[in-house]
Chain A
Amino acid sequence: AQTVTQSQPEMSVQEAETVTLSCTYDTSESNYYLFWYKQPPSRQMILVIRQEAYKQQNATENRFSVNFQKAAKSFSLKISDSQLGDTAMYFCALARSQGGSEKLVFGKGTKLTVNP
């Protein structure tokens, strides 16, 4: 079974500062993907960043970067220069990467508030 744990129910950060959201996971698969999704109050689930487990280099997307520690099964998200529009629920998710028909397994989420 695959599981995803987000241990921080809520976090807050001042505008322009940096914040790190934590995620740990468990899987017996050797090939898998990890994702961070953002869900603002509009409810639309938006992909922020993804990481393929076989790649050692940490993924980056503009102000968003991850710290992927495969041995520790840890996948944290760092948001630099936080903006008010970053206020949202953030979900960490895991999926196998073999074949099609793969489902996403989500954590319970972290509510991030960016304060002006």
Chain B
Amino acid sequence: DAGVTQSPTHLIKTRGQQVTLRCSPKSGHDTVSWYQQALGQGPQFIFQYYEEEERQRGNFPDRFSGHQFPNYSSELNVNALLLGDSALYLCASSFRGRVNEQFFGPGTRLTVL
């Protein structure tokens, strides 16, 4: 049984570019949450997708957007990249948004130059 998978593992972009990160949830899960973890910090909640809709959003600008597909996989898009967007982006999946049964992926390390 595959757990949560994310791609790519690492990514280097320059300021002003756009990036798309991908996440496939654990088998049987239908909810995907995205977190941003800056260096030396704890993860911060970006948003959550369930039934192909954004259900909850953290304190992130509109440059951060997402999508969920019918197979429950999800994408995180960031436009007009800033140096401060450099971070580890974590995806977590669960069934019906149950936070006590949430599993994390290995993350995507984004570096903005």
**Residues of A close to B100: CB separation below 8 A:** 33, 50, 52, 95, 97
Contact: A100 with B107, CB < 8 Å? no
B106: contacting residue among A43, A50, A52, A100, CB under 8 A: A43
**Residues of B close to A46: CB separation below 8 A:** 104
Contact: B42 with A103, CB < 8 Å? no
The number of chain A residues touching the other chain, given as a range, is 20 to 34
Contact: A103 with B48, CB < 8 Å? yes
- How far apart are B87's CB and chain A's nearest CB, in angstroms? 12
Give the number of A-B contacts (CB < 8 Å).
71
B45: contacting residue among A33, A97, A103, CB under 8 A: A103
Contact: A109 with B42, CB < 8 Å? yes
Chain B interface residue count, CB cutoff 8 Å, equals 29
Contact: A45 with B90, CB < 8 Å? yes
Name the residue in A102, A106, A108, A109 with the highest tally of chain B Cβ atoms < 10 Å from its Cβ: A102
29 A–B contact pairs at CB < 8 A?
A33-B99, A43-B88, A43-B107, A43-B109, A44-B107, A46-B104, A47-B103, A52-B100, A95-B99, A96-B99, A97-B99, A97-B100, A100-B31, A100-B50, A101-B31, A101-B56, A101-B97, A103-B48, A103-B56, A103-B58, A104-B33, A104-B35, A106-B42, A106-B44, A107-B42, A108-B40, A108-B41, A109-B40, A109-B42
**Residues of A close to B104: CB separation below 8 A:** 37, 44-46
**Chain B interfacial positions (CB closer than 8 Å to A):** 31, 33, 35, 40-45, 48, 50, 55-56, 58, 88, 90, 92, 96-100, 102-107, 109
Nearest opposing residue in chain B for A6, CB measure: B42
**Residues of B close to A52: CB separation below 8 A:** 100
**Residues of A close to B44: CB separation below 8 A:** 106
Residue A105 interfacial (CB < 8 Å): yes
**Residues of B close to A50: CB separation below 8 A:** 100
B99: contacting residue among A4, A45, A102, A106, CB under 8 A: A102
